[in-house]
Copies of this chain bind each other. A is one copy, B any other.
Amino acid sequence: MYSFKNDYSEGAHPRILEKLLKTNLEQTEGYGKDKYCIEAENLIKNKLNNKDVNVHFISGGTQTNLIAISAFLRPYEAAISANTGHIQVNEAGSIEATGHKVIPVNVEDGKLRKEDIVSVLSKYTNEHVVKPKLVYISNSTEIGTIYTKSELEGLNQVCRENNLILFMDGARLGSALACKENDLTFEDISKLTDAFYIGGTKNGALLGEALVICNKDLQEDFRYNLKQKGAMLAKGRLLGIQFTELFKDDLYIEIAKHENDMADILREGIKSLGYDFLVDSPSNQVFPILDNEVIEKLEKSYGFNIWEKVNEERTAIRLVTSFATKEENCLEFIKVLNEITNK
């Protein structure tokens, strides 16, 4: 049975495994001080056209979020997140476990806007409540939507005006930047956020996220946080090697583009069969609304996530494409859905 459950169902892009094989017996320094981590940091700085950032390689997204946020905040400061934000609903209280409240904001499309931040600030004004200090956004969001440059500029502005930190979770940043609708560049993001990360795990790597700290005030002593939270791998090279391969040419974006292309096939095919979508997502996550009976039949041939009940008869599911998804997998899915639909 083929699975569209997520973009981490398979191992790594073949080029990454090749590189691991090729470098396997080289001796390197431990703890992220090896030549590959250094090279990967430089490749990323080049891609950002920004030499002033710091880059740290971390195993996974939850770990990156909790280390960055706990490092950036004072004890009484809180993070603002969309109600769908990964730190709010998918990390088992990881941020709170480091001592910080997450302030959720109800939004329709997974995205925070300038106005949302202003509204939160107006309600948190004295020491009987936490102090909102960091704005957490995801791009692409947990429901596949992406930020426009104008939206990100708005957030940047409100953060500067109110001395807030803007942090972007980029677990699926590749897919966001590879969207046809996207008007943001890596460089823009490094200029408009205080920190963000470039997700590897969901973009063809075995594991690994590259945390980019753009704001100089947040860079000092950061490696202490990595060590203390258990994120400093003895064989840090494992992350460095993967990111050198992803960023030595355009592999990172090529993988993302492939994911989006495969998602487009699903999107177009499903739409052509007359189905609606829960959300209009341009990236590698697709949320069609199907009749419950259709879903039941589909589950016999495909793995996917049940996302949200829409009404008594219909439910939204989630389909995700990965570096390894093939065109034939997508076409076959549409064919099966067509058969079920028209039976």
Q: Chain B interface: which of A18-26, A110-118, A266-274, A311-319? A: A18-26
Q: Mark A1-43, 1 if CB is under 8 A from B, else 0.
A: 0110110111110100100110111111111000000000000
Q: A130's contact among B20, B27, B93, by CB below 8 Å, is which? A: B93
- Could you say which interface size class chain A belongs to? 35 or more
Known: A75-B225, A93-B101, A224-B76. A202 touches B9 (CB 8 A): no
Q: Are B90 and A128 in contact (CB under 8 A)?
A: yes
Q: A96's contact among B31, B91, B101, B128, by CB below 8 Å, is which? A: B101
Q: Are B26 and A227 in contact (CB under 8 A)?
A: no
Q: Are A26 and B8 in contact (CB under 8 A)?
A: no
Q: Is A184 an interface residue (CB 8 A)?
A: no
Please, which residues of chain B bring their CB within 8 A of the CB of A70? 75
Q: Are B207 and A92 in contact (CB under 8 A)?
A: no
Q: Are B20 and A17 in contact (CB under 8 A)?
A: yes
Q: A6-B30, A11-B23, A66-B230 are in contact. List 18 more A-B contacts (CB 8 A).
A: A2-B27, A9-B27, A9-B28, A20-B206, A62-B230, A75-B224, A75-B228, A92-B224, A92-B227, A94-B227, A94-B230, A96-B100, A97-B228, A101-B102, A127-B226, A127-B227, A201-B234, A230-B230
Of the A-B pairs whose beta carbons lie under 8 Å apart in the complex, a sample of 29, sorted by A's number, is A6-B30, A9-B30, A10-B27, A10-B28, A11-B24, A11-B26, A12-B24, A14-B24, A17-B17, A59-B230, A60-B233, A61-B234, A62-B232, A70-B75, A71-B74, A75-B224, A76-B97, A76-B221, A90-B128, A92-B127, A93-B130, A94-B230, A96-B101, A99-B99, A127-B221, A127-B223, A127-B232, A130-B224, A201-B233
